[in-house]
Amino acid sequence: MNNSPSIALLLVLVLAVGQGAAGQGSAEKTGGGSQTAPATAPRADAAPKSATDDPGYVIGADDVLDISVWKEPDISRRVPVRPDGKISLPLLNDVQAAGLTPMQLQAQLTEKFRKFLTEPQITVIVMTINSRRVYVMGEVMRPGPLPLTANMTVLQAITTAGGLGQFANGSKIRILRTENGKQTIFTFNYREVLAGKNPQQNITLKPGDSIVVP
């Protein structure tokens, strides 16, 4: 008779363990309880990546810009800069872009959109750089446009174009530059520069310069 309480307690423990195991199995089968996997958040689209990390980059003709207006998808646009230096946007029509940095254009657009939107938030990203080019033409191995790298000189541009052709006149090379509607002509003697003479001829090029090799 003294063992009765111990037997009863043992039976209660067995029943409790059995019920707990059954409950856990039921939860696993139904996918409920703590076994439910958390919902996966929807994947956001990647933000456009700028073609330049230089905050002082000056926008030029033929560049492609991504103009994003927060919460205004109908106004946001990816637009090319026209040869006249302007872009076209809804509500604003033509806006001057060439000659400005992305931050300067962003500030200008923010001010203009205040007439139509409450606290507009504008982002300007340079998607494609087409304005920073020079042109090498005439008696070189690979004539045509070249991407203008930082501090590129005349000699570097000719080398990038494959060097002088067989019948090139390296002493009468000209560099044509147009600024503010006025053309300036620089002369360049290929052999003199290679020999270290008159190094001032080997000028740093600017976007739009043309190198003519006769």
pTM value?
Answer: 0.60
For the stretch 187-208, pLDDT in tens is 999 999 999 999 999 999 999 8
Across 50-202, where does the E strand assignment appear? 64-69, 77-80, 86-89, 93-96, 122-128, 133-138, 144-147, 173-179, 182-188
For the stretch 87-118, pLDDT in tens is 999 999 999 999 999 999 999 999 999 999 99
Which domains are assigned to the chain? 64-128 (3.30.1950.10), 133-213 (3.10.560.10)
* Residues 207, 175 contacting (CB under 8 angstroms): no
Q: How many CA atoms lie within 13 A of 14 on its CB side?
A: 6
Task: For residue 155, give the nearest of 200, 116, 105, 104 by alpha carbon.
Answer: 200
> Looking at residue 54, what is its pLDDT?
84
Environment class of 90 (CB within 10 Å of its CB; exposed 0-12, middle 13-18, buried 19+):
middle
Residues in CB range of 35: below 8 A, 6 or more apart: 27, 28
